[in-house]
Structure 1
């Protein structure tokens, strides 16, 4: 009986923690042009958005962002989704972010997380790491790593959210 009570309590607490973690934490980051952005205010006018954590030195991250870029315009036309790329490059490498973004012609909003504040607040261990946030600001999908073609799963989740 005691084991059941303990298990029920643990499950209840885990459920409550899951609910709390479903919103984006309030962390202050900078955009590439130096503007301050609070992550808990990120939105896409009631439509879902994707947050993709990357670093200039992370090959799978860059493959993922390139692959998404090839279909991004279609995704936007179909679902209205937008992608926010968050660089976790440390301060000494932050100057490499803009050239990488420009060189690849990435149309994404790019935020800089040089101290890993947002990454840490979300409990992210490894990149690439992708989140989908619904139109109400709830984190509804998390994915770690990248394999070729994984972006198809991303857009499927977005389509489910927008009812397409």
Structure 2
């Protein structure tokens, strides 16, 4: 009986751990106000970058600007999709759309004013980047930004694509 219990416990634990490997079931709004279930985000089997930022975070903005400069090349070569998640609180949320527009960012931008996704993923500091493989598994995490760090991120993306 004990062996069966341990086996069932082991299977249950592995199922729970596997389920937590992807994005959690959290609903956010995009900058157009449409609701998005984060757990259902996909990219046709290609990698996804999730970048947490705030309008007031200078390193975050430098990182997203640096990626923007090479993003079309990244997409062409690997099909990667970047989703930027603003953690600006409700009183500053109106600054996100102008920032995105001013910089010409073509990323999908989600708003996390209550830190629901941030908390669910255990994000402490920003900028914070997650890389998901084509199956939605989180395969890389990084916080902070130094000039040129986007190239290391791109090497990780390419390795997922076998390039």
Aligned mates of 1:75, 1:105 — CA distance in 2: 16
Task: With the length of structure 2 as denominator, give the TM-score of the two structures.
Answer: 0.89
Structure 1 residue aligned with 2:160:
161
**CA-to-aligned-CA distance 1:35-60 (integer Å, 9 cap, x gap):** 00011001111100100000000000
TM-score by length of 1: 0.89
Q: How much does 1:92 deviate?
A: 0.3
Give the superposed CA RMSD: 1.4
Find the counterpart in structure 2 of residue 75 from structure 1: 74
Segments of 5+ residues of structure 1 without an aligned counterpart are: 1-11
Deviation at 1:102, TM superposition (A): 0.3
Equivalent position of 2:36 in the other structure: 37
Aligned length: 151
> What secondary structure, in the 3-state scheme, does the structure 2 residue paired with 1:33 have?
coil
1:8 corresponds to: none
Q: Does 2:129 align with 1:111? A: no
Partner residue, 2:4? none
Cα distance in 2 for residues equivalent to 1:55 and 1:18: 30
Unaligned residue ranges in structure 2 (runs of 5+): 1-9
1:54 is aligned to 2:53: yes
How far apart are residue 23 of structure 1 and its match?
1.1
Instruction: Give distance in 1, aligned partners of 2:37 and 2:128.
Output: 19
Shift of 1:20: 4.4
